[in-house]
Every structure is written in structure tokens, then in C-alpha cells.
Structure 1
Amino acid sequence: MTSPTESTKTSAAAQTKSHAGFGQDPLHPQMQQEILSFLQSMKPPPSLDAMRDQVPADEWKSLEGVATRELNAMLNTPMGKEMSHALQTKFGGSTFNALTWGMAGLASQMVDSSPDSNNYSIKGFDWGAGDSSAANTFEHLKAFLVKQGQTTPEMAGTVAYLQLWKYSPASLLRNIPDYVDMSSLEWEKVSNKVDTLMLEHPLKTLGMTYSDILDLIDPTRVEKRVAEF
């Protein structure tokens, strides 16, 4: 099963993303290739594994497998900080902060398509993976990446998080209800809204809930809750 919103990314929001000035979009495929090429020219080239090695074992254990905490820890290592600031200097100026460019640098290592491709899919990944609930995508992807030998169980959460941020950011929304089907119109609307918000800032939807996005799509939801209160 391929995700109806991720297999070809033909939604209006995705088309906008593909044709927007990619200098303003660190996740645009062409910008991602330029970022990766720049990182490969650094000595030594920064990598997810190398940053992980710079995080003390006891600190890593205290992160309790939470991907956002793990990513933050790696970006705060000497290598992570060097990468983030180098990318901000090279590409960003004052457009985005170092954290945003650091995340973009890590995401560039998740390349899954050709340099001129607008394909935002994850090669070989079955988005359904036995069920169609959008709430389960993150765990399914973690298991897939480990099974394919693309990462270790220890790093599966961070790699899956970066993959989804790049290819299916709606899947990172908090509190996605179990009833949400990836083939549903509601999920398509939510995915499109997330894509649109990420054009404003690539970190904008991180930490947002599924309900937050529904409220933005239909402001009357908020009015009804206020009225009920």
C-alpha cells in the first residue's frame, strides 16, 4: 500500500513546494542535494552516526528513546553545532536559525531519489504495513528501517523521524487518532495543510497535534468548543 498523499505528491501544496524558490525551502529536493554535497566536502563529513558517537552513553540513555530529544542531543554535539552553523552561513543567512539548518543537514542524509526528482516517497516502504491507520506510521517505519538494515534499533527513532519530516511531515503530528485512515479525505486535507504550513517554516508543524491542524482547516471547530464551554 502506498500512501495516497505521499506516493506521487501531486497535491496543490506539494506542487507549490516543488516550484517555490527552493532557496527558501531547506527540504526542497534540489536544496537537499546541495546541502548534502556541501556536507560531503567538510572534513570530516558530519554524519548521524558520528554525532551519535559524540553523545555520552549515559546521556543517550537518559533520552529514553524519544526521537526529538535524541536529535537535539546530536545537534548539540561539537560536530552537530559545527554542521548547523556552517550550513546557516553557507545557505541560510538570516532566513532560518542554525537549528533549522542542522535538521536540514541531517535530513539531507536521508536521500532516496535522484537529484532532479520531485518524488517525496520512501523507497520500498509499505505505508500501510498491515493496517491503514496514520497513527501507526512512525512505528511501522522504524521496524521497516531496521529490517532493511538501514539503521540500528538504537537509531531507528531518529532516522524514522527525519525520514517522515522530509517525506511525510503530517505523520509526525502528535495525537493522531487511531481512526484516521491514510486513504481518507480527512487525512489528505490534513497532509496538504501541513505541507502548506511547512512552506512558511520547515519546523512549524513539529510539536503540533492533529487537532491543531483540524482547527486551522476548520476554524468553526474552535468556535463550537468555545460556545459549548
Structure 2
Amino acid sequence: MTSINNQPLAAPLANHSHITDRHETKTTNSARPEPSAPAAHRSAKMYDETYLNMYNTIQQMKPPPTLEAMRAQVPDDKWNASLDRSKPFRELGRSYGLSLLLQTPMAQELGRKLKEQFEDFFPGRSDLSWASLGITALLTQGKHGDPGEIAGFDFDSSGTSSWDEMAANMFSRLKTHLIATGRATPELAEAATYALLWNSAPEYLLNFIPENVNRHSDTWEAVRKEISRMSDDDNQAPLGKFYDSILDKLDPQRVIDRQNEGV
């Protein structure tokens, strides 16, 4: 089965680094000079209008796609496997449920429809990526959101405890939010969370993020910027990556030190 993580890589995405990401207030590419305020405002406005137009396009489809309808097109045995936590992490992982949804006839038609109408604004996306973008539009009802927000969830919220500040817990926090607000059922919440983070904050999809990594730390900021750079080149590139592999890329000396320790 073709999954998110082994889907052939898409062509490079257009660079939209002048548009503020949903989950941050900083630009995604510090090396690129910031545009003038009016130009940046126009670009962000155009992005928001396009996002809303995507949602309206989805609602005009007959029948309008929903996560529940996509789930109904997945065989029960396969879907139940996506919920079985006894399966090895590397065999299934958190992306498995979303992979099943994205390969349904309804999701594939959704992806084709959006690609047909909006490819000029989001060039180079793979078919799976287009379908995931459609799911994101459904979950957000076409509202791109203020900086630091996605589907009503505030990424910059400090929460009520130190647990809320840890990067490894953001997936669970967003998943809980989607269930509490009725945006996703408990059965579909994990797939919905993966789709939203893929299209807004893919750094939180890294595998094996240590429990003690604070999302406001300098280390996490460096990781976030690297994932953002990778996403600019190919929005599927960060998927399936491991936290430690990103640190190794940022600091090759880590690899050398481990090799020396093994001698």
C-alpha cells in the first residue's frame, strides 16, 4: 500500500515564505528579505481568500466530502489496524489512518478537484498532498486562521502546566482540542490531527521527539526552521523523519562523536 511516507516526492513547492505561517509569527526564511507591508498584506489576503475558495469548492461537490464518508470507504479490518496500538510503531505509525483516508475514492476525487482549480497557487503538490489539503480545509472550514492558530487551537498558548510546553505533547493537545470542539470524532481525530499538522506545523510530526524538549527552546527553534526549509522544497519531505536525524543534519559533529565512541 502506498502511504504518506513512501509516496514519490513531489516537485518543489513555490516559496511562500513571505506569508506568515499559521503556527508562528516569524517568517519561514530569514535569509529572504521581508516584502513591504502592503505587499505582504496583499499576499496574505490572497492566500486566505484562496483557502476559503477551496472550502467553497469542496462544499459544491456532490456529495460534499467528509471525513466520515471517507472512513466509510475504508475496509473495517484495515481501519481497525490503524487504531491497534499493539502494532509496531514503524509498521503503522500515526500517519497510517490518514494514509487510508487519502487513498479512498472520495479523497482522490477531492484531491483532483482542488488540483484542477488551485494548482497555480500551490504548484508541485502530490495527489496525496492535495487530498490532505482538502481535509485541512474541511477541518478549518476554510478559515486559514490567525498567526499561531489552526482550527481554533492556539499553538502559542502556554497551557496550564509544563507538560503543555513540551514539543512532544503538541500532537496530543491538538487531537484533544479537535475532539472537544467537535471538529473530529475520537475515531478520526488522529488522522485529522496529522493532516492539520502536515499543512501547518510539520515539525510536530517528527518521530521520537524527546519528552523534555521545550517548544520555546533554541534547539526546537532550530529544528522548526530546518523543517520549514525542507517543507518549502517539498511539503512531504519532513514526513517520517526522526528528531535525532534532524539534529544530526544541523550538527554533523554529533555523528562524528558517535562514530568515535564506537571505535
Interval containing the TM-score (normalised by the shorter chain): 0.7 to 0.9
Aligned equivalent of 2:243:
210
Structure 1: runs of 5+ lacking an equivalent: 20-27
Cα distance, 1:114 vs structure 2: 4.8
**What displacement does 1:159 show?**
1.6
Q: From the superposition, tell whether residues 105 and 14 of structure 1 become closer, same or farther in structure 2 (CA, over 3 Å).
A: farther
In the alignment, the residues of structure 2 paired with residue 112 and residue 81 of structure 1 have an alpha-carbon distance, to the nearest angstrom, of: 19
Using structure 1 for the length normalisation, give the TM-score: 0.79
When the two chains are superposed, the root-mean-square deviation of aligned CA atoms in Å is 3.2
Amino acid at match of 2:137: S
Q: 2:26 aligns with which of 10, 32, 39?
A: 10
Confirm whether residue 157 of structure 1 aligns to residue 190 of structure 2.
yes
Distance change (3 Å), C-alpha of 1:162 and 1:6: same
1:77-105 CA deviation, whole Å, 9 max, x = no partner? 11112112333333348823211211121
Aligned pairs for 1:112-151 (under 5 A) are 114=143, 119-122=147-150, 123-125=152-154, 126=157, 128=159, 130=161, 131=163, 132-151=165-184
Match of 1:183 in 2: 216
Q: 1:118 to 1:152 in 2, by over 3 A?
A: closer
Q: Which structure dedicates a bigger proportion of its chain to helix?
A: 1
Q: Quickly say closer, same or farther: Cα 1:145–1:184, change in 2 above 3 A.
A: same
Distance, in Å, in 1 between the alignment partners of 2:31 and 2:135 is: 24
Looking at structure 1, the residues matched to 48 and 22 of structure 2 have their Cα atoms a distance apart, in angstroms, of: 15
Of 108, 114, 118, 1:87 maps to 114
Counterpart residue number, 2:134: 105
Give the 3-state SS of the residue equivalent to 1:95 in structure 2. coil
Select 1:51's aligned residue among 53, 65, 70. Answer: 70
Cα gap change, 1:71 to 1:177, in 2 (>3 Å)? same
Q: Distance in 2 between matches of 1:143 and 1:200?
A: 31
Q: Percent identity?
A: 30
C-alpha separation in 1, matches of 2:208 and 2:198: 16
Greater CA drift, 59-68 or 49-58: 59-68
Instruction: Give the stretch that moved more between structures: 174-183 or 145-154.
Output: 145-154
The answer on 1:40 being equivalent to 2:59 is: yes
| 1:58 Cα deviation from its structure 2 partner | 2.9
- In 1, Cα distance between equivalents of 2:95 and 2:211: 22
State TM-score, norm by structure 2. 0.70
> 2: CA distance between counterparts of 1:7 and 1:113?
16
Q: Is the 8 A contact 2:55 2:138 kept in 1?
A: yes
Structure 2 residues not aligned, in runs of 5+: 1-20, 36-46, 85-92
